[in-house]
Amino acid sequence: MDEPGLPPLLARSRVELLRCSDDPSDLVKVRHNRYTTAAGWAALNDRQKVVLRAHAAHAELEGPIFSHSTAAALQRIPLLGQWPEHVEVRSADDTRGRAHSTVRHRCQTDPSTVKVDGLVVTCPAQTAIDIGRLNGLAAGVVAADDVLRRGLASRGDLQSCWQAIPRGGRGRRIAQLVVQLADGRSESPGESLSRVRMYENGFPKPELQHRVFDHMKLVGVTDFWWEKLRLVGEFDGKLKYQRDDGAGDADALLAEKVREDRIRGTDRRFARWVWSDARPAGAEGMCTLLVARGLVPDHSAWF
């Protein structure tokens, strides 16, 4: 396995149990007949646990094509929400549903695939489209923005995956919107989520990554910009100003305050929000803030 930091997978046999520990309670069951050390499991983040489950499933299933959230975990594509405890695979026949911690999705078309860590997974574009069809528009755009930004797929790749969905197929309209809204200039899942909420609530389309200058010097690049109102919008990820130990980084906070003051000094208004403002379906917090800054929903065309 090429993923760094993954503990070994052990088949359930007395010899391997004894090699690992004299106490079987020091083992964690990853999947049927596959275990790993409790210490190794505890050291993994939620995405890495999905990756380890996929390797355990690969040893059990026959030629699986991992898809949806499992393909996203293997390709380090962000997932909006919690990583699931099951693995997801594409099924070539009519088999679908959930059994033995595996969710099977029936293939309506042959998906494009790549190999990651020796496992066959749906390609990045297909993965983003599948996530959108199953998990909704915001989740799909978060994934699609990421694959575009990292150069894992092109807009044409996303378009091809959408067009391959049969007419009347589940989530086809959502997949089309994912393609239309996807933008590789978004630099974080929070920015992607915010942009979807703006679209859903009828706000004018913002300009992304707008460069702000004062006295001919670059002040910074803003997440969102509305020229008519001279309004800057910024998603403020909490991790942006925090150290690994959770303590606030005073230098980073001060630098950001200076940056914001300089932007305001160029006769621009400022709106800033966090995850809790953008996450609800209606994004009431973010929307209320934008309206208070003068941005009125006009339901103008985005594309």
For residues 46 and 92, the answer to whether their CB atoms sit within 8 Å is no
Two tokens, residue 298:
């006009």
Residues in CB range of 160: below 8 A, 6 or more apart: 125
Reported as a single tens digit per residue, the pLDDT across 23-36 is 656 889 999 888 99
pLDDT band at 212 (very low <50, low <70, confident <90, very high): confident
Residues in CB range of 260: below 8 A, 6 or more apart: 270, 272
Residues in CB range of 27: below 8 A, 6 or more apart: 10, 17, 20, 21, 35, 36, 37, 38
Alpha helices by DSSP H, 97-136: 124-135
Average pLDDT over residues 227-256: 64
Average pLDDT over residues 99-114: 84
Name the more confident of 290 and 219.
290
CB atoms within 10 A of CB 92: 12
Taken in order of first residue, the domains within the chain and their CATH numbers are 10-181 (no CATH), 189-292 (3.40.960)
